[in-house]
């Protein structure tokens, strides 16, 4: 019988991150994954990153994760979202070649001697004295620690029109048994639902009628050891199409045939990721919606139309797709579907993602009710690293929500019950000006060095941190005299933006009208100092936000004091001043403190105001 120290069920984005980091500690790792699916496959959007998510990918990368490396290698279109909105909320997103991504994942995992990939279907898992016994269709495995990254396969059910099939993904075998194996593990009373759009034949789209979005050469690659701007693959464009009244009308008149609205699907979908049916029925006045046409790969002949996911019958999908300008002759190669699946109750997980009732059992990814590859990968890393650390008797790795989006996510998951799929938004963080892409290395360095792995990555980070400290001091100490031509150059328009006195570089970087990155670049050039663009960005943006971050820290302290305040949820749930929806959520979670109430998903700030006013 083959034995592992750590076994991961599922080879998706959570699974490979967990395996990859765990194996670094020299433990024996097994990935048991469904036959026929490549590692790290992308059944939904062919993209990695996005607002808030780009930060997660960079955090992972700084921690020694996989996702950044794979995304760079498979990246075929790069973009910075929120480009015009300030550095703190700028995020990178890359379209990936799905096949290439999976091939790179396979290649990378194969090079790690400590990982064994088993492609068999699991039929039963038993808890034994020293861990678990896993029975597949072929043989039995034994493991000390078990990480479940089973995605949507927990009692998954697919819907396209009235057609229903068992399974977690189109074209894959279902994994029916998993639900029954863990009947003692608390799952949420409701099922979650997610959906995908129909995939369109690349050659049947009239691109001349669509708005082109080319790849942006100025976006930095994710992995910090990669050449910043050298791409691994050929770059292609995405396109923007729009729905019109006819599109929406087709969907509206066929409401009865939508499984989501005729009662066939009972699962709860995410409000932030509505299907095209949601958009049509919930917003009857709005007919123009964005549809992003994204390539799924260089050699794949499908395009992914983001924004029109649907579970309508095939003929209707065909009709509404063809009503869109540019898609009149579109051929659908794979029809859209919705999938319903079970989700475990994450309030039973600790901050290491280990189950509090079942030691040595971890959960990560979509099975925890999150959506998104990045969220899954972040959890996979946390579960994997902590499984390995505890196995070796070392301290766990817990990321603070004040320092990372991964920390925000894990704390949100562990502290309240999901009632819709969870996605990271920058708004979930209380410390948005600090947890940025540009300083991810800075933020993660203390955590990474805690692991004592001493790889090339660690050497790079140490060097970077030293250079950072040096450049920070340089900015504080270097004074630009009022006679310098730079003072005039950096003055803006009008008297209010006139610089006229001797200033430190730091002071100059804080001026509202100056782009701190370009300014620092120019100042360093003037002084003949050459440093990397990465370093310039980190330092310049840190200086720019410094004052704001200090202020928000003092506010955070004040809030923390208030969070401990006891509240009476029974009284609150009877209050007429609070919306019905909020009351329902409060009754379900029964929060004891104001802090807990605040973390409940979907609680309106107005409710918090009412409660706070009363709880005083």
Task: Give the end-to-end CA distance of the chain in Å, rounded to a whole number.
Answer: 61
* Closest approach of other proteins to the CB of residue 373, in Å: 17
Q: In angstroms, what is the minimal distance from the CB of 525 to other proteins?
A: 24
The dihedrals phi and psi of 250, each to the nearest 5 degrees, come to -60, -40
Looking at the Cβ atoms of 216 and 348, the one nearer to other proteins is 216
Other beta carbons within 10 Å of 81? 16
CB closer to other proteins, 479 vs 609: 609
Give contact residues for other proteins (rule: CB under 8 A).
51-52, 81-82, 84-89, 272, 290, 307, 425-427, 432-433, 512-513, 545, 548, 551-552, 555, 558, 562, 568, 571, 577, 604-606, 608-610, 612-616
CA dist 166 and 183 (Å) reads: 19
One-letter-per-residue 3-state SS of 207-248:
HHHCEEECCCCCCCCCCCCCCCCCCCCCCCCEEEEECCHHHH
Nearest-approach distance from CB 393 to other proteins, in angstroms: 41
Are the C-beta atoms of residues 342 and 21 closer than 8 Å to each other? no
We find the least distance from the C-beta atom of residue 84 to other proteins, in angstroms, to be 7
Whole-angstrom Cα distance, residue 361 to residue 131?
A: 9
User: What's the CA angle centered on 124, arms 120 and 127, to 5 degrees?
Assistant: 125
Beta pairing class for 361-363 and 140-148: parallel
| Residues ≥6 apart with Cβ < 8 Å to 93 | 47, 48, 49, 50, 53, 54, 78, 79, 80, 81
* Nearest to other proteins of 12, 591 (CB atom): 591
Beta carbon of residue 65, minimum distance to other proteins (angstroms, whole number): 23
CB of 544 to other proteins, least distance (A): 9
Q: CB nearer to other proteins: give 313 or 595.
A: 595
Q: Which helix (H) or strand (E) holds 289?
A: none
Distance between CA 573 and CA 601 in Å, rounded?
16
Cβ proximity to other proteins, 501 vs 561, nearer residue: 561
Task: For the CB of residue 291, give the shortest distance to other proteins in the complex, in Å.
Answer: 11
CB-nearer residue toward other proteins: 15 or 54: 54
Mapped onto helix, strand or coil, the DSSP state of residue 166 is strand
Coil vs helix vs strand at 431: coil
Tell me how far apart the alpha carbons of residues 410 and 378 are, in angstroms, rounded to a whole number: 9
Residue 385 near residue 228 (C-beta atoms within 8 A): no
Minimum distance of other proteins from residue 46's CB (angstroms)? 16
Nearer to other proteins, 87 or 363 (CB): 87
Q: Which is nearer to other proteins, 85 or 266 (CB)?
A: 85
Closest by CA position to 279, among listed 326, 314, 330, 242: 242
Bridge partners for 127 per DSSP = 132
Residue 78: count of CB within 10 angstroms of its CB: 24
β-strand pairing of 75-81 with 122-128: unpaired
Please give the Cα distance from 354 to 577 (Å, whole number). Answer: 39
Tell the smallest beta-carbon distance from residue 60 to other proteins (Å): 20
Where are the strands (E) in 455-499, listed by range? 479-480
* Residue 473 tokens, joined: 């001091």
Give the shortest CB-567-to-other proteins separation in angstroms: 9
Task: Select 110 or 427, whichever has its Cβ closest to other proteins.
Answer: 427
3-state helix, strand, coil in the chain (%, to 5): 40, 20, 40
Number of H helices, E strands in the chain: 20, 22
Instruction: Output the smallest distance, CB 260 to other proteins, in A.
Output: 19
User: In the bound complex, what is the minimum distance in angstroms from residue 609's beta carbon to other proteins?
Assistant: 5
């Amino acid at each position: 019988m083959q034995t592992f120290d750590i076994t991961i069920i599922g080879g998706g984005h959570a699974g490979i991150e967990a395996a990859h980091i765990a194996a670094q500690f020299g433990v024996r790792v097994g990935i048991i994954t469904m036959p026929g699916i490549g590692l790290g496959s992308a059944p939904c959007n062919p993209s990695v990153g996005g607002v808030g998510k780009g930060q997660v990918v960079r955090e992972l990368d700084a921690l020694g994760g996989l996702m950044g490396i794979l995304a760079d290698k498979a990246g075929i279109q790069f973009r910075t979202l929120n480009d015009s909105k300030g550095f703190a909320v700028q995020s990178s997103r890359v379209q990936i070649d799905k096949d290439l991504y999976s091939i790179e994942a396979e290649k990378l995992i194969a090079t790690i001697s400590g990982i064994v990939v088993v492609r068999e279907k699991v039929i039963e898992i038993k808890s034994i004295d020293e861990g678990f016994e896993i029975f597949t269709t072929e043989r039995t495995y034994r493991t000390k620690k078990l990480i479940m990254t089973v995605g949507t396969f927990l009692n998954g059910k697919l819907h396209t029109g009235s057609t229903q099939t068992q399974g977690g993904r189109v074209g894959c075998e279902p994994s029916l048994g998993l639900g029954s194996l863990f009947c003692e593990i608390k799952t949420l009373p409701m099922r979650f639902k997610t959906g995908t759009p129909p995939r369109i034949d690349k050659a049947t789209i009239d691109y001349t009628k669509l708005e082109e979005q080319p790849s942006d050469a100025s976006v930095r690659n994710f992995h910090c050891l990669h050449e910043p701007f050298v791409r691994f693959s050929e770059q292609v464009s995405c396109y923007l199409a729009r729905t019109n009244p006819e599109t929406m009308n087709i969907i509206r008149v066929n409401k009865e045939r939508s499984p989501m609205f005729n009662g066939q699907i009972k699962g709860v979908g995410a409000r932030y990721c509505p299907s095209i049916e949601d958009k049509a029925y919930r917003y009857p006045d709005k007919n123009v919606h964005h549809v992003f046409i994204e390539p799924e790969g260089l050699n794949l002949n499908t395009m992914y139309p983001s924004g029109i996911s649907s579970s309508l019958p095939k003929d209707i999908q065909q009709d509404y797709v063809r009503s869109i300008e540019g898609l009149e002759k579109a051929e659908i190669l794979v029809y859209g579907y919705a999938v319903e699946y079970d989700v475990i109750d994450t309030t039973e997980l600790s901050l290491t993602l280990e189950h509090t009732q079942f030691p040595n059992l971890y959960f990560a990814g979509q099975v925890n009710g999150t959506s998104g590859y990045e969220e899954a990968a972040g959890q996979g890393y946390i579960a994997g690293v902590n499984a390995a650390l505890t196995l070796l008797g070392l301290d766990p790795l817990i990321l603070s929500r004040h320092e990372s989006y991964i920390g925000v996510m894990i704390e949100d998951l562990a502290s309240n019950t999901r009632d819709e799929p969870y996605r990271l938004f920058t708004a979930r963080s209380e410390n948005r000006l600090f947890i940025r892409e540009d300083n991810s290395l800075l933020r993660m360095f203390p955590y990474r060095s805690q692991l004592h792995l001493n790889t090339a990555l660690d050497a790079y980070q140490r060097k970077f941190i030293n250079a950072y400290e040096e450049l920070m001091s340089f900015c504080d100490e270097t004074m630009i005299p009022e006679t310098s031509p730079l003072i005039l150059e950096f003055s803006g328009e009008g008297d209010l933006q006139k610089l006229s006195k001797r200033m430190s570089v730091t002071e100059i970087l804080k001026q509202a009208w100056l782009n701190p990155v370009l300014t620092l670049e120019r100042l360093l050039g003037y002084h003949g100092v050459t440093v990397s663009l990465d370093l310039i960005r980190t330092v310049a943006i840190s200086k720019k936000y410094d004052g704001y971050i200090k202020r928000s820290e003092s506010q955070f302290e004040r809030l923390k004091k208030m969070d401990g305040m006891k509240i009476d949820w029974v009284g609150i749930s009877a209050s007429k001043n609070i919306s019905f929806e909020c009351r329902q959520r409060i009754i379900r979670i029964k929060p004891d403190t104001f802090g807990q109430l605040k973390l409940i998903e979907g609680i309106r700030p107005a409710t918090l105001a009412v409660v706070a006013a009363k709880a005083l």
